Structure 1
Amino acid sequence: MKMSDVTWPAHITAVSQSHADALAHQLADHVALQLTTALEERPRASLAVSGGSTPKAFFAALSRQVLPWERVDITLVDERWVSPDDRDSNERLVREYLLIGYAASARFIGLRQPGTFGGDGQQACEQALQAFSWPLDVLILGMGNDGHTASFFPDAPELPQALDPNNTALSLALTPPSQAHRRVSLTFSVMSHARFRALHLKGDDKLATLARAFADLEQIPEMPVRAFLKDPMFVFWSP
């Protein structure tokens, strides 16, 4: 599938490269520019990133950007409720690929906090996020072939609460039956206020999924990523 095969809404800005590494570097340049601009206007800047295999090259490229990283707050869009040193932990991924080099001095706030899932652990997560710099300056999302983004899975019982634009919580515990791990995610209400938002995708299958999402942006529960695609956003894609 090609970018030209997709019917792109006018409010979506599409960026593509023929190689994933080139796209990762272009996205890193773009994010660095957004953070630099934010730091010229405010004492601190903030960035929320996604996990998975796709962002590894982007994380590595971003870590080499020369910025006053000590003034940048970083958190995750979502996390599996596992130990931060677990191989399935998004925090572990961020620490290994992003919080290195120049970016090692950034302030990272993880979503997996000590305590019970959905109980005092969730309360600790919410409290930790209070120290973050809101609203987000930069939000980088991923997407699954089921149309989920963050931990907004179509089968998650907590999906209506997660997508509620009036939800005042910063984070939410989710239990999608299709997933091996319980999850914690930032809420749509807090992510939707990000000053810059991008969807980072790799592969023809993801482009086909995106085309399906564009076909009917109103059917959000079927493909929760649609909640973010209804407003201006950048899409960075490579085969």
Structure 2
Amino acid sequence: MSDVNWPVSVRPVLLGDAMLLAGQLTREVVTHLTVALTKRERASLAVSGGSTPKAFFELLSVAPLDWARVDVTLVDERWVDQRAPDSNERLVKQHLLQNGAARANFVGLRQAGSLDSRGQGACESALGGMTWPLDVVVLGMGNDGHTASFFPDAPELLEALGPDNPAKCIALTPASQPQRRVSLTFSALRAASFVALHIKGDDKLETLKKAVGNLDDVRAMPVRAFFRQSISVFWSP
């Protein structure tokens, strides 16, 4: 990783073992949430789906936190039934909202109704009941350079990445994806006190190198938008 020209805003945490990395990420997330709970009544955490965070979720679920005072939501979601195999909500409930973390208040992005009409409004309303700005955000990244549901081919991408967008969530319809998506906006995500990118594998490392090598072309690789601000990158093979 010595050949990566890291932007000054990026803090790399690079470990050779995925479980060790999950443990390090867990400790840092717990620290930030604990500090947040000393400052206000509730703390807030937004997490991503996929296979990479499963070990992190399971470690976090047994962390010594006052979970009853923690709001948990998703960075993004497919607009599918919450019981569907590819639902991020289903994944989080199976691997994170267990043990002590079962006492957390979960706010799902998939709400009743279609995404075209009242569904997005219901999502925005549900998110409004959480504590903002978010305390902790844990992002993932695809090999195309997307993060959250900010896909390069989403017609709504520029609106989603708008730094002054007042909305907390947005519907996206990337042509490359089989389902419509709902995502927290860039403005909602970037305001978090602690933002982490959790990735695994040599393929993601190559994508990461390409992304940090040219921060100007955000539309081609939307994850680049987050490398212009303070972010911790957690990577393991």
TM-score range, shorter chain: over 0.9
CA-CA distance at 1:90 after TM superposition:
0.1
Give the 3-state SS of the residue equivalent to 1:46 in structure 2: strand
- The aligned residue for residue 43 of structure 2 is 45
CA-CA distance at 1:121 after TM superposition:
0.8
Give the 3-state SS of the residue equivalent to 1:53 in structure 2: coil
- The aligned residue for residue 141 of structure 1 is 139
Structure 2 counterpart of 1:74, which letter?
Answer: V
- The aligned residue for residue 63 of structure 2 is 65
- The aligned residue for residue 10 of structure 2 is 12
Distance 1:75 1:137 in 2: 12
**Which of 19, 31, 34 in structure 2 is aligned with 1:33?**
31
CA-CA distance at 1:221 after TM superposition:
0.2
State the identity %: 60
Structure 1 counterpart of 2:141, which letter?
Answer: M
Structure 1 counterpart of 2:215, which letter?
Answer: L
1:81 matched to 2:79? The reply is yes
Structure 1 counterpart of 2:62, which letter?
Answer: R
CA-CA distance at 1:118 after TM superposition:
2.5
Structure 1: which 5+ residue stretches go unaligned?
Answer: none
CA-CA distance at 1:25 after TM superposition:
1.1
CA-CA distance at 1:5 after TM superposition:
2.5
CA-CA distance at 1:22 after TM superposition:
1.0
Residues 83-107 of structure 1 deviation map (CA, whole Å, 9 limit, x = unaligned): 0010000000000000001100000
**Which of 11, 21, 24 in structure 1 is aligned with 2:22?**
24
Structure 1 counterpart of 2:136, which letter?
Answer: V
CA-CA distance at 1:215 after TM superposition:
1.1
- The aligned residue for residue 124 of structure 2 is 126
CA-CA distance at 1:165 after TM superposition:
1.0
CA-CA distance at 1:8 after TM superposition:
1.1
For the aligned residue pairs, the C-alpha RMSD in angstroms reads 0.7
1:178 matched to 2:183? The reply is no
Give the 3-state SS of the residue equivalent to 1:5 in structure 2: coil
CA-CA distance at 1:166 after TM superposition:
1.4
Distance 1:118 1:132 in 2: 23
Distance 1:130 1:118 in 2: 19
Distance 2:144 2:15 in 1: 24
- TM-score, structure 1 as length reference: 0.98
Q: Report matched runs for 1:185-224 at 5 Å.
A: 185-224=183-222
- The aligned residue for residue 55 of structure 1 is 53
- TM-score, structure 2 as length reference: 0.99
Distance 1:4 1:203 in 2: 17
- The aligned residue for residue 94 of structure 1 is 92
Structure 2 counterpart of 1:163, which letter?
Answer: L
Name segments (4+ residues, structure 1) moved above 4 Å. Answer: none
